Amino acid sequence: MTQPKAPLLAENEKRDIAPALLEPIEYRKSGLSLNHIIGCPLDCAYCVRHLFHNYEMKQPHRITDDETAASMLVSHKYFQPNITPLQIFNRATDPFLPTVKPHLFRVAELLDQRGLTNHLLIITRSRVSIDDCNRLNAIKNLKITLLVTYSGIDDKRVEPIDSNIAIKTLTRAHEMAENYRVVLYWRPLVSGLNDSPSHIKRALQLATHAHATVFTGLFFREEIQSYYRKMGLPEPVNLPARRKILVRSLEDRILTEWHKTGRGPPLFRKTSCAVSFAHRLSDYNGHYGIRELCDICPVDQIRRCADAFRKPEAQAIADLALSLGASAIPTIDDRAIQTSGLNEEPRYFMQHTFGYQVHDIRHPHLPHRHGRAEIGWTDEPESRTSSSED
Ligand code: SF4
């Protein structure tokens, strides 16, 4: 039976869409991201589509066809075969919505037919069927990771979709996984909303149905705050932030509970770490340089990352950075490369080229904060502000 597909957006409808959303490829932290379908009916209040003023588009629409999208991806100036991690439909829709998944599989199959072995990250909170799992298993070359978003948020005004759908997807996909891997994407964690002891215990129990689990916080930008205010929703924090918010006390409580399980299900702070571990590969984002991130990582995985970790040559860094438009020669230390004048896309290109963290010198990543917003981390005790670079 032919599945219904997302309708093509008419030219006159495109006039109302933010230009950034009409650009289907964006280099994000976890990879080069393909988003040629926009629109979603799931109504998560914290959706990043608020940033593009696209939240009211409930029906998924196509910007272009799958063949064009796949070929745009592999001919993108920052695409490197077998190296660049890829993501699909992680910005403006859910890949397993009924009218979206035919496009997901078509693009995945087109890329796979090229023999590409790049990572492909697929993030969903929708229902994934047995047939869907079989189709994922049929992908032979790409390293597919299904990241199943689960928050446990009970407030239907914030997250209307039933969490049991994600639970069913997770357990089924994990049971059926042969050629793909399953990550429990435990997010967004919000203080006061889904951080009770029972929420944490429940998520850690679910983590036993995944190859790895990553926990992370909430993006709360001004546009999202405006929506919360308009709808009269309880605001998770007073001020919006540029980075994800996950307060230190909540991370501590999660890790304390996790230690009680005997460090049971593998738990990670970074998406790329969870994805890489699930495939038994070293972290492609070079987080190993940020040594304190690794204190919860399985011993075998630490060894894998240590073996692969190489500080790049200063000359190679300078040459690449300057060719990408850097305004100064980058500095490098044992943790990261610091660049000036490069926006996110060339920085991520450098990061995936070298397998080494690449930061903007104006936005330093502070020890132990793991690139998160400063909310809830500013009263650092001494033991947490000292670097652990050994
Ligand atoms: S060793 Fe460190 S960098 Fe590697 S996967 Fe574990 S936490 Fe990430």
- β-partners of residue 331 are 338
Region 261-285: mean pLDDT is 95
Supply the pLDDT for residue 370. Answer: 59
**Rounded to an integer, what distance in angstroms lies between the CA atom of residue 243 and that of residue 218?**
8
- Could you report the per-residue pLDDT of 173-218, keeping only the tens digit for each? 999 999 999 999 999 999 888 999 999 999 999 999 999 999 999 8
More confident residue, 378 or 296: 296
Dist. CA 230 → ligand 1 center (Å):
41
Angle at CA of residue 378, ends 293 and 245, nearest 5°: 60
Which residue has its alpha carbon closest to ligand 1 atom 8? 273
Region 99-108: mean pLDDT is 98
For residue 203, give the 3-state DSSP assignment. Answer: helix
Selection from 152, 154, 155, 146 nearest residue 184 by Cα: 146
- Burial code (b: 16+ CB inside 10 Å, e: under 16) for 355-380 equals bbbbbeeeeebebbbbbbbebbbeee
Report the nearest atom of ligand 1 relative to the CA of 282. 4
- Burial code (b: 16+ CB inside 10 Å, e: under 16) for 110-132 equals bbbeeebebbbbbbbbbbbeeeb
Rounded to an integer, what is the distance from CA 149 to the centroid of its chain? 10
Choose one of 211, 255, 296, 297 to mutate for the ligand 1 pocket test, by most ligand atoms within 8 angstroms of C-beta: 297
- Could you report the per-residue pLDDT of 41-55, keeping only the tens digit for each? 999 999 999 999 999
**Rounded to an integer, what distance in angstroms lies between the CA atom of residue 350 and that of residue 346?**
6
Choose one of 290, 301, 356 to mutate for the ligand 1 pocket test, by most ligand atoms within 8 angstroms of C-beta: 301
Report the nearest atom of ligand 1 relative to the CA of 269. 7
As given in the structure block, the two tokens for residue 191 are 């203080």
Query: Which helix (H) or strand (E) is 150 found in, with range?
Result: strand 143-150
Supply the pLDDT for residue 375. Answer: 65
Residues 6 or more apart from 293 whose CB is under 8 A from it?
269, 270, 273, 287, 370
Confidence bin at 116 (pLDDT 50/70/90): very high
Region 139-145: mean pLDDT is 98
Report the nearest atom of ligand 1 relative to the CA of 276. 5
Dist. CA 51 → ligand 1 center (Å):
31
Dist. CA 284 → ligand 1 center (Å):
10
More confident residue, 389 or 212: 212
Confidence bin at 388 (pLDDT 50/70/90): very low
**Rounded to an integer, what distance in angstroms lies between the CA atom of residue 204 and that of residue 387?**
29
CATH architecture of 11-278: Alpha-Beta Barrel (3.20)
Supply the pLDDT for residue 185. Answer: 98
Residue 36: is its pLDDT beyond 70? Answer: yes
Selection from 223, 218, 226, 137 nearest residue 174 by Cα: 137
As given in the structure block, the two tokens for residue 50 are 């608020």
Dist. CA 286 → ligand 1 center (Å):
8
CB 115 within 8 A of CB 141: yes
Q: How far is CA 386 from CA 292, 355, 356, in A?
A: 10, 25, 22
- Please state which of the ranges 66-75, 101-110, 185-194 shows the lowest mean pLDDT: 185-194
**Rounded to an integer, what distance in angstroms lies between the CA atom of residue 222 and that of residue 49?**
12
Domain ranges for the chain: 11-278, 314-385
For residue 34, give the 3-state DSSP assignment. Answer: strand
Radius of gyration of the chain (CA): 20
Choose one of 213, 305, 309, 389 to mutate for the ligand 1 pocket test, by most ligand atoms within 8 angstroms of C-beta: 305
List ligand 1's pocket residues with C-beta within 6 A.
270, 273, 276-277, 283, 287-288, 293-294, 297, 301-302, 305
Selection from 6, 54, 61, 77 nearest residue 345 by Cα: 77
Residue 87: is its pLDDT beyond 50? Answer: yes
Q: How far is CA 74 from CA 64, 78, 347, 382, in A?
A: 15, 9, 19, 47
Dist. CA 334 → ligand 1 center (Å):
15
Residue 366: is its pLDDT beyond 90? Answer: no
Supply the pLDDT for residue 54. Answer: 92
Report the nearest atom of ligand 1 relative to the CA of 306. 1
Report the nearest atom of ligand 1 relative to the CA of 296. 7
Supply the pLDDT for residue 372. Answer: 63
Which residue has its alpha carbon closest to ligand 1 atom 3? 288
Q: For the chain, what is the mean pLDDT?
A: 92
Residue 38: is its pLDDT beyond 70? Answer: yes
Region 277-300: mean pLDDT is 96
pLDDT over 70, % of the chain: 93
Confidence bin at 390 (pLDDT 50/70/90): very low
- Please state which of the ranges 85-89, 115-119, 227-231 shows the lowest mean pLDDT: 227-231
Selection from 341, 376, 360 nearest residue 368 by Cα: 376
Region 246-258: mean pLDDT is 94
- Burial code (b: 16+ CB inside 10 Å, e: under 16) for 313-336 equals eeeebbebbeebebeeebebeebb
Angle at CA of residue 258, ends 257 and 259, nearest 5°: 90
Dist. CA 298 → ligand 1 center (Å):
8
Supply the pLDDT for residue 385. Answer: 28
Region 370-385: mean pLDDT is 52
- Could you report the per-residue pLDDT of 8-34, keeping only the tens digit for each? 999 998 998 999 999 999 998 879 999
Which residue has its alpha carbon closest to ligand 1 atom 5? 273
Which residue has its alpha carbon closest to ligand 1 atom 7? 294
Which residue has its alpha carbon closest to ligand 1 atom 2? 294
Confidence bin at 381 (pLDDT 50/70/90): very low
Cite the DSSP H helix spans in the chain: 11-14, 19-22, 66-74, 101-113, 130-137, 163-176, 197-206, 222-231, 248-260, 271-278, 299-308, 314-323, 344-354, 382-385
